[in-house]
Amino acid sequence: MTVQGSQANAESDVPHAGAPIDVRDLEFRFGRDGFTLQRDELAIASGERVAFVGPSGCGKTTLLHVLAGILVPERGTVRVGETVVSSADDRARRRFRIREIGLVFQNFELLDYLRVLDNVLLPYRLHPALRLDASVRERARELAGSVGLGDKLGRRIDALSQGERQRVAICRALVTRPSVVLADEPTGNLDPATTARIVDVLFERVAASGATLVVVTHDHGLLDRFDRVVDLAS
């Protein structure tokens, strides 16, 4: 088990260089007779921007969750930077995910009873390796402003629209300045104008930090923004 990348930066709050991703001989199965995801190899370079496409049910979200260490494969190796995610234990995967990964879930995974600002800062509440200070709070406010939520920081999540919740989830994924951003349909609930704004924010932030970006999307109008498109149905 290798977890050096997470611990090495545990006490600092500086942008990470993007982490390369390397997948070999992957097999993940839901239950004995359930859906099986297989991938002989997948290599994503440090700082690369990659889109996962394919029909519903082909394994896009599953692969994203395997890369994040949420799901553990039956066999194969998943390496993100210096971390061998596939062989790390639960605690190490969680530490790696909090510190190195910015996640945008398809169903947002926000806490409805908390305010917008508290949801954006949630990673800092969940893990002591992340230090919450005035500069982090300012970054959270600036991020929220960049996606049109600057005047909603004090609102509870359950008072927001679906599109506004989507934007909160994106801010939360970016606030730690992770080495890898994994986003599952980050523009799925947004109108065209807001989609363009959100994509601009995502690409500007990952470019500024050199982060690696992997996005699951059904919006083929976005694909020319990426360095590479991986079709999981092929």
What CATH code is carried by the domain that includes residue 121? 3.40.50.300
Indicate the pTM of the whole model.
0.88
What burial class does residue 153 get, using C-beta atoms within 10 Å of its C-beta: 0-12 exposed, 13-18 middle, 19+ buried?
middle
Determine the pLDDT at residue 213. 97
> Span 202-218, mean pLDDT?
92
Number of domains, the chain: 1
The more confidently predicted of residues 210 and 7 is 210
- Three-state DSSP at 204 gives helix
The domain of 105 spans 4-231
> Span 151-168, mean pLDDT?
94
> Span 67-85, mean pLDDT?
96
Instruction: List, for residues 115-139, the tens digit of each pLDDT value.
Output: 999 999 999 988 887 899 999 999 9
Strand extents, DSSP E, the chain: 21-29, 36-44, 49-53, 75-80, 83-84, 101-104, 180-184, 212-216, 228-231
pLDDT at 176 over 50: yes
What distance in Å separates the CA atoms of residue 5 and residue 104, rounded to the nearest whole number? Answer: 21
pLDDT at 165 over 60: yes
The more confidently predicted of residues 147 and 14 is 147
- Residue 225's nearest CA partner among 192, 202, 191, 208 is 202
As a whole number, the mean pLDDT across the chain is 89
Determine the pLDDT at residue 4. 36
> Span 57-82, mean pLDDT?
95
What distance in Å separates the CA atoms of residue 77 and residue 87, rounded to the nearest whole number? Answer: 8
DSSP bridge partners of 181: 102, 213
Determine the pLDDT at residue 16. 59
The more confidently predicted of residues 21 and 193 is 21
pLDDT at 229 over 50: yes
